[in-house]
Amino acid sequence: MGVPTPLVDSQPSSEFVVSAENVTLEHGDEQAAVVEDMSHVDQVEIDRQDGGTFHVNTTTEQPLTERDRRDAQAIARTNETVRQALADVEQYEMTVEPIQQISADAMETTTLSGLNETSTDNGTETATFSISTGGQNESVTIDRDPTYLEDEATVRVVHPGEDETYYSITVDLETETVTDITDWTDI
């Protein structure tokens, strides 16, 4: 994805801000999201092109395959406790999500100014980044450490068409068991 107007040295400093949630370009008082969802992004590459434009490319990881998602739903549906709970729910849909691993010593934001320097700001959400620069500082690559637990998934039982979650079910895909159930209607 390219930045629409060239940024040249005579203009105020521009910064790419890479956080756990998104990548934004800050130029003076203006701010624009160039990557809006970092939930499955494991690499961000910022390339400076001829003429001063930048291209931001991302590589995504899919921690759960479609088979993993189907298996997680099947494991949840065959669990007796889950079956009893779902008997009381008139309409529902199941979604499957990977479980994010939490790192207590990670940094929240990495700011790249002019592709030559970095700084970090500590915050409440965490993400870990590794930064490398290309030849003559014309590109920067930011790698995120893997952030998902292997062989585990969360099955969410939600009201169709709404964000209301009835239950969260943690599934161990390796042992094919339900390890936790949270009833959100009681909370």
DSSP single-letter state for residue 12: P
What Cα–Cα distance (Å) separates residue 161 from each residue in 74, 93, 94, 149, 156?
A: 22, 9, 12, 28, 13
Give CA–CA dist 97/149, Å, rounded: 11
- Whether pTM exceeds 0.75: no
What are 51-101's pLDDT values in tens digits?
778 888 888 877 899 999 999 999 999 999 999 999 989 899 999 999 877
Give the domains, in start order, of the chain with CATH numbers: 14-61+103-144 (no CATH), 66-101+148-186 (3.10.450)
Q: Are 185 and 168 in contact (CB under 8 A)?
A: no
Contacts of residue 29, defined as CB under 8 A and 6 or more positions apart, other chains included, come to none
What are 116-148's pLDDT values in tens digits?
444 444 444 445 555 555 555 567 777 776 578
Lookup: tokens for 89 = 């729910």
